[in-house]
Amino acid sequence: MTPEDLAARLRRSFDDVLLARGEVTLTVDRERLLDALRTLRDEDDFRCTFLSDLSCTDWPGRDPRVWMAYHLRSPERNLRVRVKAGLPEEDLRVASAVEVFPAAEWQEREVFDLFGVVFDGHPDLRRVLMPDDWEGHPLRKDHPLGGVPTQYKGATVPPPDQRGL
Amino acid sequence: MAERIPEGIDGAEVGRGTTAQRLREDLLVVNMGPQHPSTHGVLRLLLTLDGESVVDLKPIVGYLHTGIEKNTEYRTWQQGVTFVTRADYLSPFFNELAYCLSVERLLGIEVPPRAEAIRVLVCELNRIASHLVWLATTGLELGAVSMMLYGFRERERLLDIFELFSGLRMNHAYIRIGGLVMDLPEDAEDGIRAYLGELPRRFDEYEALLTGNPIWRERNRGVGILDAATAESIGVTGPMLRSAGVARDVRKDEPYCGYERYDFEVPTRTEADCFARYEIRLAEMRESVRICEQVLDAMPGGPVMIEDPKLRWPARLSVGPDGIGNSEEYVRHIMEDSMEALINHFKLVTQGIRVPAGEVYTPVESPRGELGYYVVSDGGIRPYRVRVRDPSFCNLPALPEMARGRLMADVVAAVASADPVMGGVDR
């Protein structure tokens, strides 16, 4: 199936389907996200059985603030689809996709860790890359690249002239 | 579990509830890593052991997190290459390629045929280098120490070749947006051909050394089994998935860079164990040699960078005695001949290029599986978001499945067969 055919087929079931640069993007409300993922996984026209990638982009000052992006792959039909869902700033939550795609487990942990998105129903939602007691979510746009005070835990830093260097 | 407690010399004293009894019945939690010779870098495994057998295993990562994705958002599009090449440090060319392909798709440009062919060439050489390191370190971990010396010996020659044309042994930043930073030097093709001609004999030697070796077989066969359905649902790709009989390879399924023009096989096995992965990686190296030879035979001429002066990297580079740098001729051109050339150079180097708004996801087949770059642009001079779908990260959750119920010593073989590179896992 070509991306054009896929987009046409998806438009029969979904409202917001975009075909750009040879990639098909399906945008759904976050409440319908899991349904959409299941449809894409199970329906015979799609058979997107493989979750390639799960991530998001942060757009502070806009609504929705965070756009989740799920990249699905159908080895049988040789397709790729991107599913997107927007999350409002005051409520960065979305249902966990782990029950549909177990591959989402670590990738959702990473999004939680670096963006602070909470995945409802995730079996083990812990930080994965940053230390457990880290404060903040470093990949958010309002988190600075540098100049962040080092987060010492229980340790103190003596003034430079007393460090005995 | 009680019946497994050996009869003590003073069995009467080892009653229920004494410290000795509890010690024998308790599960032991052991930290393997993050500094451990067999965890391929700073991978930490939290093992729950019942004697020698593994009850549970939890991979803990993040010790090498360097914020590569965040860094790219603060640099120009061209500078992004120098960051992503440092993610998975054993497959730098693949990271550069996937990033550049993504940006080129956003820009809507196509690179010259010669650049495309050389990209395939360096990536396949890189696949051989990466698999050689895998073979060497796995040999070391499983007691075949001589393999370590041979693997690194051959890889060293490859690094020399990389240095010859990029000026650097690792983190090359050789593949750039719009093509390559510079063409292969004149003597490079002969050097690569000579090396490729030698390799199959070396592979025969490795197989003679390992394939029939009873210790090697014992340590690998039937160990670290991961069936196809589980692997796929966890998101495993690459040799790990192919060892379970799934012939999935981005180069075949969704060809990029003209892979459809080359004749090569995707090796698979059905045993789904460490030994199958060993056989697959050796077979893949042989296939990579075939691809490289085909690329060299059909190497097109012409430029290696697009012509568009508003997009192409302005400098003419050359490899000097101290590495890569601006060629003297080019410096003379912008400093003495042409004011416009100097302005153009200054603008492109300091401000960078603008990339139309949009988003793309580009997968390539790295030595460890599907390496995908999800690149988002808001139309500015910097990437808005660069997300790396790293196969090492996505393959790691399979470790518990491979190790549970097995012996502690098999964990080493299972981790080795997954070939995780922590630079890629943690980014």
Same domain, residue pair B98 and B175:
yes
Q: Which of B296, B329, B352 is the last residue of a domain?
A: B352
Using a pLDDT cut of 70, give the percent of chain B over it. Answer: 93
Would the CB atoms of A130 and B65 count as touching at under 8 Å?
yes
Same domain, residue pair B22 and B118:
no
A145: closest CA of chain B, how far (Å): 7
Would the CB atoms of B62 and A139 count as touching at under 8 Å?
no
Q: Which residue, among A44, A117, A50, has the nearest Cα to B234 in the 3D structure? A: A50
Range of the domain at B419: 68-304+356-426
User: What is the predicted ipTM?
Assistant: 0.87
Q: Which residues pair with B377 in a beta bridge?
A: B358
Q: What pLDDT, in 10s, does the model give residues B235-289?
A: 999 999 999 999 999 999 999 998 999 999 999 999 899 999 999 999 999 999 9
Q: Which helix (H) or strand (E) holds A50?
A: strand A50-58
Write phi, then psi, for B28 (nearest 5 degrees). Answer: -105, 130
Q: Report residue B386's pLDDT band, with 50, 70 and 90 as the boundaries.
A: very high
Range of the domain at A37: 3-162
> Dihedral of the CA atoms B339, B341, B345, B351 (nearest 10)?
70
The yes-or-no verdict on residue A154 having pLDDT over 90 is no
The yes-or-no verdict on residue B25 having pLDDT over 80 is no
Enter the tokens of residue A24: 């098909």
Residue corresponding to tokens 């939602």: A125
Separation between Cα atoms, residue A72 and residue B128, nearest integer Å: 29
Same domain, residue pair B128 and B241:
yes
Q: What pLDDT does B337 receive?
A: 87
DSSP count for chain B of H helices, then E strands: 18, 10
Would the CB atoms of A128 and B387 count as touching at under 8 Å?
no
Q: Which chain B positions have a beta carbon within 8 Å of A82's beta carbon?
A: 359, 361
Residue type for position B61 = V
- Strand, helix or coil at A40? helix
User: From the CB of residue A61, how many other CB atoms can be counted at a distance below 10 Å?
Assistant: 8
The yes-or-no verdict on residue B5 having pLDDT over 60 is no
Give the list of residues 6+ apart from residue B156 with CB closer than 8 angstroms, or none. Answer: none
Separation between Cα atoms, residue B254 and residue B408, nearest integer Å: 39
Q: Report residue B9's pLDDT band, with 50, 70 and 90 as the boundaries.
A: very low
Q: How many domains does chain B have?
A: 3
Q: Which chain A positions have a beta carbon within 8 Å of B61's beta carbon?
A: 128-129
Whole-number mean pLDDT of chain B? 87
Q: What pLDDT does B376 receive?
A: 94
Residue A45's CATH number: 3.30.460.80
Q: What pLDDT does B22 receive?
A: 61
Within 13 A of B325's CA, how many CA atoms are on the CB side? 7
Same domain, residue pair B156 and B275:
yes
Of the candidate ranges A140-154, B51-65, B153-167, B180-194, the one whose mean pLDDT is the lowest: A140-154
Q: Which DSSP state fits B407? A: B
Q: What pLDDT does B11 receive?
A: 44
Enter the tokens of residue B5: 């407690």
Picking from A83, A128, A130, A140 by the largest number of B CB atoms within 10 A of its own CB, the best residue to mutate is A128
What is the model's pTM?
A: 0.88
Same domain, residue pair B194 and B83:
yes
